[in-house]
């Protein structure tokens, strides 16, 4: 069975996933361990078998400290031969691959993966969207306007070919939209 791909991402009110320099320091800090509210992140994380991201996103994640995705297989789409591995996290399962998105999905299916988190960045999101590989979109809208930066692809922002299932106020002015492909 082909794995279900979920784009789980945050955007600014005006549709940017990063500022003009690729930074995400405008995002609210992640909840502390044991926090009463994590906006559904722990349940979501527990539901995924693997993560897929691009090289730029991967390299940015490495600057945040210990690898934040313990116990999950992470696939980094890249054409570079050498990239640093997470050094602070011995349980980081990171694989670099130059497979095309459809071929990676075939590989993940053979590996028995059922649910895949498409982490980003925008180039990877566009490729998966263009191939019709994203099954569900969970987009958290942060009440901040950036004015410029790296935008979520316009087709997704405009919900082309998508149906909104719900839009929930999750607190602190944030809204979480859940969308799926039109059938």
Give me the residue spans of the domains in the chain.
Answer: 4-181
Per-residue pLDDT of the chain (183 residues; tens, 9 = 90+): 899 999 999 999 999 999 999 999 999 876 666 555 677 888 999 999 999 999 999 999 998 888 899 889 999 999 987 787 887 776 679 999 999 999 999 999 999 999 999 999 999 999 999 999 999 999 999 999 999 999 999 999 999 999 999 999 998 899 999 999 988
Cβ 57 vs Cβ 124: under 8 Å: yes
Cα separation, 128 vs 156, whole angstroms: 12
Specify the pLDDT at position 183: 80
Specify the pLDDT at position 31: 61
Phi (first) and psi of residue 2, to 5 degrees: -65, 135
Look up tokens 């990239």; give the residue: 83
| CA angle (57, 59, 62) in 5-degree steps | 110
Specify the pLDDT at position 37: 65
Architecture of domain 4-181: 3-Layer(aba) Sandwich (3.40)
Cα separation, 160 vs 156, whole angstroms: 6
DSSP 3-state of 136: strand
Q: How many residues does the chain have?
A: 183
Specify the pLDDT at position 9: 97
Look up tokens 């044991």; give the residue: 34
Look up tokens 């320099």; give the residue: 21
Can you read off the two tokens belonging to residue 131? Answer: 């191939």
Cα separation, 115 vs 53, whole angstroms: 14
Q: What is the dihedral of CA 17, 39, 35, 116, to 10 degrees?
A: -70
């Amino acid at each position: 069975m082909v794995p279900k791909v979920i784009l789980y991402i945050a955007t600014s009110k005006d549709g940017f996933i990063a500022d003009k320099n690729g930074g995400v320091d405008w995002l609210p800090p992640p909840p502390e361990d044991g926090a009463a509210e994590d906006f559904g992140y722990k349940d979501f994380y527990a539901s995924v078998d693997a993560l897929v991201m691009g090289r730029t996103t991967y390299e940015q994640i490495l600057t945040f400290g210990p690898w934040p995705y313990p116990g999950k297989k992470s696939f980094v789409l890249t054409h570079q031969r050498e990239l640093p591995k997470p050094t602070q996290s011995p349980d980081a399962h990171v694989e670099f691959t130059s497979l095309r998105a459809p071929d990676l999905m075939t590989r993940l299916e053979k590996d028995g993966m059922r649910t895949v988190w498409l982490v980003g960045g925008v180039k990877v999101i566009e490729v998966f969207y263009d191939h019709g590989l994203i099954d569900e979109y969970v987009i958290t809208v942060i009440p901040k306007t950036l004015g410029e930066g790296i935008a979520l692809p316009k087709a997704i922002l405009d919900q082309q070919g998508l149906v909104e299932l719900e839009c929930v106020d999750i607190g602190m002015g944030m809204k979480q939209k859940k969308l799926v492909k039109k059938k």
